[in-house]
Structure 1
Amino acid sequence: MVTPHIKEGKVKYVEDIAEGIESAPGALVGLFSGRNVGKQLIMSQPKNRRDDTRLIPPRQ
């Protein structure tokens, strides 16, 4: 089982984070060409943005 190894910190993972939606195409190319290591993520919003704010207002 993997769970005990995760709890003991024996299993490590790497996140390859591309910042901004404008970097998404390059991140996708890197994903398929083997340039990235680990999980490819794209951060599309700033970290300091409040979670309860919406980009698109709700419909009336």
Structure 2
Amino acid sequence: MKKRVVALFIVSLMIVSLVGCKKDTKYTEVNLTEVAHSIFYAPQYVAIELGYFKDEGLKV
């Protein structure tokens, strides 16, 4: 009896853990703005110029 309960518990955990594996392909477009031109945005400017965002399929 104890083996059945443990087996049922393990199977239940496996099923519950696989529920979160569903791939959702619906994306939401997000607009970001910067308050002012600042040195703190330098990594973002460099990434834009080097095309890192385009390589990942992002429109910036």
The answer to which structure has the higher helix fraction is 2
TM, length-normalised to structure 1: 0.28
Does 1 or 2 have the higher relative contact order (CA < 8 Å, sep 6+)? 1
Indicate the structure (1 or 2) with the bigger Cα radius of gyration: 2
TM, length-normalised to structure 2: 0.28
